[in-house]
Amino acid sequence: MPNYTVRKVKLEKTEQLDILARASGKLYSQTLVSFWRTVRKKGIWMSGYSMERWQISPLLHAHSSDAVTQCFFASLKSWRKRRKTDPSSKPPRRRRWFFKLIWKSAAIKLKGNKLRLSNGKGNEPLIVNWRWQKPKQIELGWNKASQCYELRACYTSESVKSVESNGVAGCDLGEIHPMVIADGVNTTIFNGRLLRSKRRYQNKLKGKLSKLIDTKKRGSKRGKQLIKTKQKQLAKVKNQIKDIEHKLTSKAVSMLKEKNIQTLVIGDVRDIRKSINYGKKNNQKLHQWNFGSTRHKLEYKCARVGISTLLETEEYTSQECLSCRKRNKPKNRNYRCSCGFKFHRDGVGSNNIRAKYLGAAPVVGLMASPSGVRFQTHLQCNPVA
């Protein structure tokens, strides 16, 4: 069994999709009924092969029809195996109104940005917008949770790895950590402690000196002196902050270059400040959160070394499970999901941003736990960055 990587795409419910899913359900039920009828009446257990030639839907591609029949026989087979250890297990007997659809390689064509899924001669093909490479096989099923159809495109993992996943990294800009970068295997957290303490100091200084200036008479010699001091000291801290940001972003870009990353997907946080009120304390934090300048530095430094950057909306990226897409709110440093997935909470966002752009979940088994980069005065960088 080759290893598959799956890309999931949601499709809105349409009449065409309903008709196809119903045709598939009808075929599945027919197969099931005919099979059990032959068992009952003639005592014969038909093989999948003879059934395939018999059961065909006029609305589906011949290979898609075969695949539905194969699904029934696959569940029959797994029941017969299960029965050996668990005598109470039940065979597949339930009829289906709707059933998943499967397109095999021969029925899939990619033309420009459109994927054309053939439903056999005389039937309207299914057209899907597609910005990725051609999949090996496609399954389409109903997603109960989000009340829409979900298309699952399967790739052999080698083909995905070599063509696109490799070379794409996701970046999460944040308040606690200025940057977290994920490339599908490694997640790197850039430590922001020094940056935070500088910003806190900047605030304190501003407040302290402003207060002092207020006590002096406007235009007095002492007052003027103090204003000058304030400007001078603030400029110094500002430069220090700028310097740290430069060093961190340069380090990040040289790291990306070393890993041969071609595309950096940055989480878009521009709306956060405008739209939501987080309360007085958090608002202040957010207003000082300099993701704009960090992002800008990252973007132009990436451009210099030929890495393209783009923005991806950040919605739910810190909450969604990387393995099963369920949303959870992490309670402590660890992100945990009921499906068994565990990860350092700060690494979830960047991995999700990357997954969102690729339209595919990462291979969780390949992911290493995050490592950190701490700020040092002499962070080693590639000279080009």
Residues that bind Zn ion (CB under 5 A): 321, 323-324, 326, 337, 339, 341
Q: Nearest distance from residue 256's CB to Zn ion, in Å?
A: 28
Q: Nearest distance from residue 364's CB to Zn ion, in Å?
A: 9
- Element (H or E) spanning 206, and its range? helix 193-215
Measured between its terminal Cα atoms, the distance across the chain in Å is 44
C-beta of 193 vs 342, nearer to Zn ion: 342
Are 262 and 168 within 8 A, CB to CB?
Answer: yes
C-beta of 305 vs 324, nearer to Zn ion: 324
Q: How many CA atoms lie within 13 A of 14 on its CB side?
A: 11
C-beta of 216 vs 325, nearer to Zn ion: 325
Q: For the residues of 85-121, what is the DSSP string, one character each? A: H-TT--------SS--EEE-GGGEEEETTEEEE---T
Give the number of other CB atoms < 10 A from CB of residue 346: 20
Q: Nearest distance from residue 327's CB to Zn ion, in Å?
A: 9
C-beta of 215 vs 332, nearer to Zn ion: 332
What residue has token string 């003879």?
50
Q: Nearest distance from residue 325's CB to Zn ion, in Å?
A: 7
Q: Nearest distance from residue 343's CB to Zn ion, in Å?
A: 10
Q: What secondary structure letter does DSSP report for 366?
A: G
Q: Nearest distance from residue 366's CB to Zn ion, in Å?
A: 16
Q: Nearest distance from residue 174's CB to Zn ion, in Å?
A: 22
Are 266 and 301 within 8 A, CB to CB?
Answer: no
Q: Nearest distance from residue 6's CB to Zn ion, in Å?
A: 15
Give the number of other CB atoms < 10 A from CB of residue 117: 19
Q: Nearest distance from residue 322's CB to Zn ion, in Å?
A: 7
C-beta of 340 vs 372, nearer to Zn ion: 340
C-beta of 36 vs 341, nearer to Zn ion: 341
Instruction: Tell me the angle at which helices 291-304 and 221-258 cross, rounded to the nearest 10 degrees.
Output: 40
Is the CA virtual torsion 315, 162, 190, 234 positive or negative? negative
Q: For the residues of 19-51, what is the DSSP string, one character each? A: HHHHHHHHHHHHHHHHHHHHHHHH-----HHHH
Q: Which pair of tokens denotes residue 122?
A: 């005389």
Give the number of other CB atoms < 10 A from CB of residue 339: 14
C-beta of 190 vs 335, nearer to Zn ion: 335
Is the CA virtual torsion 292, 293, 295, 296 positive or negative? positive
- Could you give the CA distance from residue 155 to residue 141 in angstroms, rounded to a whole number? 17
- Could you give the CA distance from residue 170 to residue 184 in angstroms, rounded to a whole number? 9
